[in-house]
Amino acid sequence: MDYKDRPVFIVASERSGTNLLRRRLTESQSVYLGPSPAHFLKHLYYQKPFYGDLSDDDNFLCFVRQALDLCTVHFSPWEIDWSAEQILRDFKNNDRDAIPLMHFLMNKYASEKGYQGYICKDNFLYEFALDIERQIPDARFVYLYRDPRDFVLSQIKRPGAIKSVARYARLWSYEQTKAIQACSRLASNGKCRWLSYEGLISQEKESVQGLLDFIGVEMSRNKNFKETSAIEVHDWKNINKPTDTANSRKYKVELSRRQIMIVETIARLQMGYLGYKTDYGSSSRISSLYAHIDYYAALFGKVFSKVLSKNVEAAAASEAAIRRKRSAILSRVSVNYRSDS
């Protein structure tokens, strides 16, 4: 089998265990590499028209340079010394578009690291999954989802986050709606497997084995995979540790009844579809009112705290430098995928 034409894409919301799954899949076999996410498609898929006609080499070189920046200006940078000119020569007759370029760069990096294919867990893959399948017909997909109440709890605990359960409940609902639609179509063609985060952490070996069977590789200990981070990142703080099998249903202790009701009211449709039962029911007018109060109070509180504080989210100099440089890149390419309200 030619694994370079059968990549694996993890479709999920952030804070749903994507980096954990990426790491466990890579550690459990020696065919696929799951590198640190460069988020090519998140930043470049919708930006293509603004680079001009990509059949013009100068325009395409600019597009490629931006893609390479996403790989290297990163808290866990790829170990590459590629130039845009080299990529232009090697890219040859491939379509000059975001998905073919992502596919080429991911395969090139995997090959240089001694692997035959790649695992991609970029953000917002639900936006691109069906187009990926069209352009890479043998691609395989994993839809990873998490209980929205624990998802919300994880989000509001992130440094600097707006502490609104309503905001993140709306985000979870929106993203699951998009992912369910895309992944249902992919599953009907045998190209997608669904997995809950709770199932992954409670039965990790069985879950990983099932996915390896699905993508057609044998389980074996991968001693060569190593991943280092240039800075300490909150979102990656646990992936170098053994899997926390008890990291679910923490919302029962850490969220209030009112907060849980808000999440269940907003997310009731998607929760039911994915098999999550509510604790307090939903569709209450009071819960809906609570949701609006919760969101705007949290938003005002964040703005107010920034005005008062001169040192919100103070970071180490090395982290700040990397973040500033990456922010300068993303300011030119980032796309707003949904409303926060």
Tokens standing for residue 87? 């990529």
Over 60: is that where the pLDDT of 269 sits? yes
C-alpha to C-alpha distance for 15 and 155, rounded to whole angstroms: 7
C-alpha to C-alpha distance for 316 and 75, rounded to whole angstroms: 13
Cβ atoms 9, 70 nearer than 8 A: no
pLDDT at 1: 79
Q: What is the mean pLDDT of residues 308-329?
A: 59
> Under CATH, what is the fold of the domain 3-248+315-333?
Rossmann fold (3.40.50)
Backbone dihedral region for residue 15 (phi beyond 0: left; psi -120 to 50: alpha; all else: beta): left
What tens digit of pLDDT does each residue of 196-218 get? 999 999 999 999 999 999 999 99
pLDDT at 296: 63
Cβ atoms 267, 150 nearer than 8 A: no
Phi, psi of 162 (to 5 degrees): -70, 125
pLDDT at 299: 61
3-class DSSP state for residue 145? strand
Cβ atoms 217, 34 nearer than 8 A: no
Q: What is the mean pLDDT of residues 54-67?
A: 97
Q: Which of 13-17, 22-26, 232-236, 241-245 has the lowest mean pLDDT?
A: 232-236
Over 60: is that where the pLDDT of 252 sits? yes
Q: What is the mean pLDDT of residues 130-143?
A: 98
What is the DSSP track for 2-67? -GGGS-EEEE--TTSSHHHHHHHHHHT-SSEE-PPP--HHHHHTTTGGGG--TTSHHHHHHHHHHH
Q: What is the mean pLDDT of residues 137-155?
A: 98
pLDDT at 239: 65
